[in-house]
Structure 1
């Protein structure tokens, strides 16, 4: 085999290698597109705002915690939300420290209300309730 034939054989091998790479990329796309569609269908988008409170999932004890132990830490206050999905949290204690976490590890926490705010949410006129019950034929015991 002379030098010219060896060069030609090597070029043919490189062209064949490029074709194999292209076929592999096409094959990967064919199989990954349905998987990504299926995955994206079940991913829930979480939207956080500044000032919200959130609970942080503690993934260190995923398998070893007891069934009555909580896996959520916090609450923390959301200080900043980045476009990449990273959220900066701060503790709500007097001594604050900040930490960066992935937004998928967070769950919104609804701030506790005071007793007065809670009562105002369910402030129902007792007379209107009694009249509505009598209209339906129900009897309500005296309180």
Structure 2
């Protein structure tokens, strides 16, 4: 369904089409007002049906896109003792092409039910961070293992 049809309730006609049907259009304009009013009400009802159908289709589309997006999200589970990197929000204010926005590595001290992690910094201090801002840290040997496993799959 085109946006033009949603707004105006009828399909779009090119000027070439209107030229051939100009005689028909002149006869249509000279119709009586009662009949024109009834047709106008019918067209308004059809327009409302088109809009409702478009709304239903858009909600179906949004559900499908959300399901696809959620399917592509990789489930991340962390265990105490793992090495992780923390996303540093402050670095986005000082942009640099080659500057990494991830700091660390930190060690996970504990994992809480709400997704919060208690991390241990390299100097021994502890702090809490949101689990969405954390990703696993791999050493070079671990990266090679992950790469080989990915190739096998």
Query: Normalising to structure 1: TM-score of the pair?
Result: 0.49
Using structure 2 for the length normalisation, give the TM-score: 0.46
Q: Which has the higher contact order (CA 8 A, sep 6+)?
A: 1
- Whose helix fraction is larger, Structure 1's or Structure 2's? 2
